[in-house]
Amino acid sequence: MGRLAVRQDRRPGQVQHREGHQERDGRSPLLRNASLKAGDDTWYFLRVLRDGRPVAYSSPIWVNDGKQAGSPKAPKGDLSTTGGRWLAGDLNVHSCFSSDVYCAGTDDASAADPFRQGVDVRSRFAEAGSRGLDYLAVTDDNDVRSAKAPGSGSHGVLAIPGYEDKVKGDAHVLGVDKLLGNGDGSAAAINALANEVRAKGGLFQVDHPGSKITKKFAGCDASTLTWGYGFDVRPDTVEVWNPSSSIRAAEDYLDCWLQRGARVALTGGSDAQTQYGQPQGAGYPTTWVLARNRSQGAVLEALRASRTSVSALPPAVGGRPLVIEAKRDGRFVPVIGDDVRPGEKLHVRSLDPLTDGSLRVLANGQTLLDQHLTRDRAIEFTAPAQPGWLRAELRLGNDLLEQTPLCGAIDLGANLCPYDAAMVAMTSPVYVR
């Protein structure tokens, strides 16, 4: 059997490559050495031969010392900008205190189930820290014990208290560490709940309204959604991006709120519950907030002000926010969640200089712009002449992805829609006033 070894030389820009093949008599392999210089090659892959025939390949390895002409620079770690700094987080993860998981010591031993193995609070924060997140909301089902559990707020990650409220659909109550009353569960009672959490400095979110839908959401007919209050309960945010829910349906639900004149932000959450059934864990996707400082209060303030952008990936693996900016006092500044003038010149760009794709800007329910966004570039456009709203999204594909049959009903434990899988990043609205 062929053998292969590779090591990185300590000198910058040079890699030693070893490729082996098996001798005919089956004894130890012969190794060939070759040097690759970053100035000559930007990538290479390794191949294993047996009797002169390839039997295995590696994925590509990129050689880039950052000095080559035209080579992209790695994303910077500091995302400070006018008005604050972009902070990364996940607003929807679960711990051992959630009802759908099992954890030894938390649940009765008779309920042991390896397929429902949960994750304790400290491990959730360790996971978030390893992925470069700044904040994390452990939102267990009608349970707030995570807020005071050992490890909450550890590993350099801010803890955002809250819980997932099981009403006629799922909602997030964020910014409180005590359960609040639902009354009789009517729309009036849930509106009272939302007002109470706002008075306490928190916010109310509708979660994954496109989850397990069996009929396409169209024409603002909310009866097709799992959120049973339709437009009778106004949220502060809508969880548009959830791995097990239809992004398209949630987008359309958000846009229906915007068409009604409401100011509602979008967020994303991994909804990570079990250790093995949902191995993606925290940060897939990541919700970015433009916060005035790195504090719990500033994160909640930014969410209420709609200063959010969602990326498919967390910071540790290259995730960065998509931003919409306007020129103020001679320089471009973020305006997501803010007001702009009708006809004002704007531009949109990804803060990850290595990302490109198909950019779409939606305004007042219509497509305002749809073109390719080149990496490390911005696309300029003009705000619509009529008052309303606009938002942007970046995808790997094109409109053909919206026509596939899998973008219809989502009644599965996982979302298989190519439209959703191709999403890279999306922004909350900018308001045209």
In the block, which residue shows the tokens 């390895």? 61
Nearest residue to 159 via CA among 7, 315, 282: 282
What is the pLDDT at residue 398? Answer: 57
Encoded amino acid at 245, one letter: S
Encoded amino acid at 243, one letter: P
Residues of the chain with pLDDT under 70: 1-47, 52, 55, 57-78, 277-279, 397-416
What is the pLDDT at residue 354? Answer: 83
* Whether the Cβ atoms of residue 191 and residue 170 lie closer than 8 Å to each other: no
Q: Residue 36: which residues within 8 A CB-CB, separation 6 or more?
A: 14, 15, 17, 44, 63
* Whether the Cβ atoms of residue 282 and residue 90 lie closer than 8 Å to each other: yes
Nearest residue to 160 via CA among 175, 150, 171, 148: 175
Report the half-sphere exposure of 265 (CA within 13 A, side-chain side). 25
In the block, which residue shows the tokens 């967020």? 267
Phi-psi label, residue 63: left if phi above 0, alpha if psi -120 to 50, beta otherwise: beta
Report the half-sphere exposure of 98 (CA within 13 A, side-chain side). 26
Domains located in the chain, CATH noted: 4-62 (no CATH), 80-432 (3.20.20.140)
Element (H or E) spanning 170, and its range? strand 169-174
Residue pLDDT, tens place only, 257-301: 999 999 999 999 999 988 876 668 999 999 999 999 999 999 999
User: DSSP 3-state assignment of 91?
Assistant: strand
State both tokens at 412.
Answer: 């599965």
C-beta atoms surrounding 380 within 10 Å = 11
